[in-house]
Amino acid sequence: METKHVTCASCDIKCSVLADVEDNRIIRVRRDPDHPITPHSLCNKGAAYPDQIYHPDRLLYPLKSVGARGEGKWARVTWDEAMDEIGERLNAIVDRYGPESVAATAGAVVPYDLTRRFLNVLGSPNYVSGTYLCLGNTSGVNRVTYGWQPFPDYWHTKVIVLWGHDPQPNKWTAEYLWIRNAIKNGAKLIVVDPRVCFSAKRADIHHRLRPGSDAALLLGWLNVIINEELYDKDFVKNWTVGFEQFRQHIQQYTPEKVEEITWVPADEVRAGARMYASGPAIIPWNPTLDQVSNSTQGLRAMGILRAICGNIDAEGGEMMMGYHPTVVTETEISMTELLPPEQRAKQLLLPGAKLLSYEFWEEYNEASEKVFGRKWAAQVLAGALANPGAVVKAMATGEPYPVKAFINVGSDPVTSFTDARHMHDGFMNLDLLVTNDIFMVPTAQMSDFILPAATWGEKYDLHNHWDWHTFMIGGDKAVEPLGEAKDEYHFWREIAIRVGQEKYWPWETQKDFFEYRLARIASSFEEFIGAGGLAAFDEHPILGSNPQYKKYEKTGFATPSGKVEIYSELMEKYGYDPMPKYVEQNGTAISDPEMAKEYPLYFFIGSKGDPYFQQQGRNIASLRRLAPEPWVEIHPETAYDLGLSDGDFVCVETPHGKLYAVAKHSDEAHPKVVRVPYRWWLPEQAPYAPNFSGLFQVSDNNITSDSAAFADPEQGIPSLRGMMCKVYAVERSPEYSQALSALGASWGGFSDTWGGSGRTGGTREATAAKA
């Protein structure tokens, strides 16, 4: 038996774990006690990996659709046959419609840089990614304030703010462990969350805020910190622009005013602000502020808060790590510089929303070159992101120009993006849809070609969270891929060489490619892994022998002024607010009280109560057993008033649509706020048209809108939080029940943790009462 050091990609935290391998078969995945970054880190998703890699439903052979799109008639073909035809058809599409008519994506746990490289070399600006409303947009707005997206120093911090973010033993486990250790070392914890979540129960301060009002709370904290002079005066004086204007501007956000907007009492606002300002502090990235239509305002306020309290590039604060000095970075691999200006200008966006455009990104090139030695600098490979709603509109209608081809790697865009009907209509209207994936998810079901993908134990890994933290972490390949599954590098290169890109893909294999990237520090990938699989450098603040903080004192910040831009003239130039303010989202009970009479509850889509990561795991028994049905969390008293018992099947309806789920009572819920499940598909249901595995029953994208009316005006992202809904009882359809029962029966039954026992997050008394 051999033990391999691999990177788990059951979620995008990417813990380094151990895989025990016998006869080219993975027999178990276990914790690595010695890894310097993620020691002892593993969750039940990673532990269940053998069930994924050896799952009977894995796609193992290339398939070509030989019926209508979405009909489910497949012929098995060879990789060469598939790729030859894909190449032919792509070339024809590009000749006729231009490279901009080809869009592509990469899912959360597969490489982004390869998709970007392909599109940039091709000449298409239409890279679509879930990061547009998750981490990527954060990096874009952080860039406005201080030219980079910092990474928290969990290892030395004294105050942690978890803002709508709840890492737990089995959810973002590595981060949970860093936070837990920080708290054991004396760090204080502030939790901002309408729910009494796992972290809230352990917090020093808990702000139960109204979803969608986050920017107001941040502005309230800023009001307190500025008026009580708790900020870092030297830093503000030497390294910011616009402070005095901002001081005037912030006066309106008194704690009392903020209480009205956010539900957080004024004295709590003060307490939270003072605690944040009390020590080196971190606000780890959270999805919440990325998924509201006042996201830009909130993220700007958050950036200013970090900066004026002296937390930027300070020990225990948020580190501006910069690029790795010797390993070729993902940003370089992306080759954004190859995309010609006239092609960049064709990027599909919501009108007026330019913050994630190439045009806006270009404004930072001079500063980036000065500070980082390169143009087109970005973390999360998110410098510019096309708007999925605009892209599928172009697919469906040809406006403003047709998008005819889509290459889908490790993602399920049809169920990923707002709104489900628009996604469906756009993708069904393509001339060419190519998917590289492991299971037959809805977008795969609609594809012309499916190329089987290698899972994480079947390929090598090199990651640094897309240049967000500098040190690079490597993972070995544990076993050869099953069937004819291949890694993403192989997939992209096969297409690339057939469309004239061969000179940009000279490395024959993924391993060769990684060895190219590591060439200045290791002569082979084996050597790199053998030496620990970690590429740090002397100046690194966590791992280096000579850690460097406050690098801005030498280089300035990568903003037009070279300083932290509390006031941003660039935002002003684009017609956006130069300083953040509070803007109520459209479609809430506050902005549309008439409509809210019919939709009396607030909702948010999120909260990782499930044992899943995004869409994965619904066909893995040990995971699906824990949460067999999508569930809506609702406070028991609220449910009582609505006549909803624990375990009732319900419809969640908004002005935009409906989804179906089970009601789950929990006194962790805020009485006014329901939690809506996300990224569900039902592998036990009929795939293909028209049902597509329950797409229009359970996807959260049935209830949100991609229209500009409900979008963040600067970014163009939809809102998933703080909007209005109603919840009422319905019956499960016979098809739904039968399919689910059959699935459970095939696994020897679901556990009895579901059916309203309240076990997950329940109380001792409640469980005893039911026993």
C-alpha distance from residue 79 to each of 449, 484, 646 (Å): 10, 8, 50
Cβ atoms < 10 Å from Cβ of 594:
6
Per CB under 8 A, the list member of 123, 194, 457, 611 interacting with other proteins is 611
Residues 17-76 that bind other proteins (CB under 8 A): 28-33, 39-40, 42-44, 46-48
Residue that has been written with the tokens 């998933």 in this structure: 720
Tell me the per-residue interface mask from 147 to 186 with other proteins, x by CB under 8 A, - otherwise.
Answer: ---------------------xxx--x------x------
Our CB check for other proteins shows the closer of 89 and 180 to be: 180
Our CB check for other proteins shows the closer of 589 and 627 to be: 627
Our CB check for other proteins shows the closer of 114 and 626 to be: 626
Q: Nearest approach, Cβ of 148 to other proteins (angstroms)?
A: 33
Catalytic residue, from 12, 232, 461, 706: name it.
12
Strand order in 25-31's β-sheet?
A: 2-7, 16-22, 25-31
Tokens at 163, concatenated: 């803002």
Q: Nearest approach, Cβ of 54 to other proteins (angstroms)?
A: 17
Our CB check for other proteins shows the closer of 31 and 58 to be: 31
Using CB under 8 A as the binding criterion, the count of chain residues that bind other proteins stands at 34
Q: Nearest approach, Cβ of 32 to other proteins (angstroms)?
A: 7
Q: Nearest approach, Cβ of 627 to other proteins (angstroms)?
A: 9
Which H, E and C letters describe 382-408, residue by residue? CCCCCCHHHHHHHHHHCCCCCCCEEEE
Q: Which of 152, 142, 166, 132 is nearest to 298 (CA)?
A: 142
Q: Nearest approach, Cβ of 770 to other proteins (angstroms)?
A: 9
Residue pair 61/483 in contact (Cβ under 8 Å)? The answer is yes
Residue 426 to residue 430: CA distance in whole angstroms = 7
Residue 106 to residue 128: CA distance in whole angstroms = 8
Our CB check for other proteins shows the closer of 171 and 517 to be: 171
Q: Nearest approach, Cβ of 184 to other proteins (angstroms)?
A: 10
Residue 555 to residue 577: CA distance in whole angstroms = 27
CA atoms within 13 A on the CB side of 102: 27
Any alpha helices (H) in 23-78, and if so which ranges? 44-47, 49-53
Our CB check for other proteins shows the closer of 82 and 623 to be: 623
Q: Nearest approach, Cβ of 456 to other proteins (angstroms)?
A: 16
Our CB check for other proteins shows the closer of 43 and 128 to be: 43
Determine if 658 is a binding residue for other proteins (CB under 8 A).
Answer: no
Residue 57 burial by Cβ neighbours in a 10 Å radius (0-12, 13-18, 19+): exposed
Q: Nearest approach, Cβ of 309 to other proteins (angstroms)?
A: 29
Residue that has been written with the tokens 């409906």 in this structure: 658
Residue 586 to residue 125: CA distance in whole angstroms = 30
Element (H, E) at 92: helix 79-97
Our CB check for other proteins shows the closer of 86 and 626 to be: 626
Contact window for other proteins (CB under 8 A) among 340-348, 474-482, 542-550, 618-626 = 618-626
Q: Nearest approach, Cβ of 176 to other proteins (angstroms)?
A: 8
Q: Which of 232, 338, 326 is nearest to 516 (CA)?
A: 326
Angle at 607 (CA atoms; ends 649, 258), nearest 5 degrees: 110
Which H, E and C letters describe 687-729, residue by residue? CCCCCHHHHHHHCHHHCCCCCHHHCCCCCCCCCCEEEEEEEEE
For residue 12, indicate whether it is catalytic. yes
Peptide bond into 690 cis (omega under 30): yes
Residues 729-768 that bind other proteins (CB under 8 A): 751, 753, 759-764, 767-768
Residue pair 35/21 in contact (Cβ under 8 Å)? The answer is no
Per CB under 8 A, the list member of 104, 114, 626, 724 interacting with other proteins is 626
Tokens at 609, concatenated: 């109560």
Reduced to 3 states, what is the DSSP secondary structure of residue 36?
coil
Our CB check for other proteins shows the closer of 167 and 316 to be: 167
Our CB check for other proteins shows the closer of 178 and 599 to be: 178
The strand pair at 673-676 and 601-605 is best described as parallel
Q: Nearest approach, Cβ of 628 to other proteins (angstroms)?
A: 12
CB proximity list for 451: less than 8 A, separation 6 or greater: 62, 79, 82, 83, 434, 435, 436, 486, 491
What residues are labeled active site?
A: 12
**Binding footprint of other proteins on the chain (CB under 8 A):** 28-33, 39-40, 42-44, 46-48, 168-170, 173, 180, 611, 622, 625-626, 751, 753, 759-764, 767-768, 771
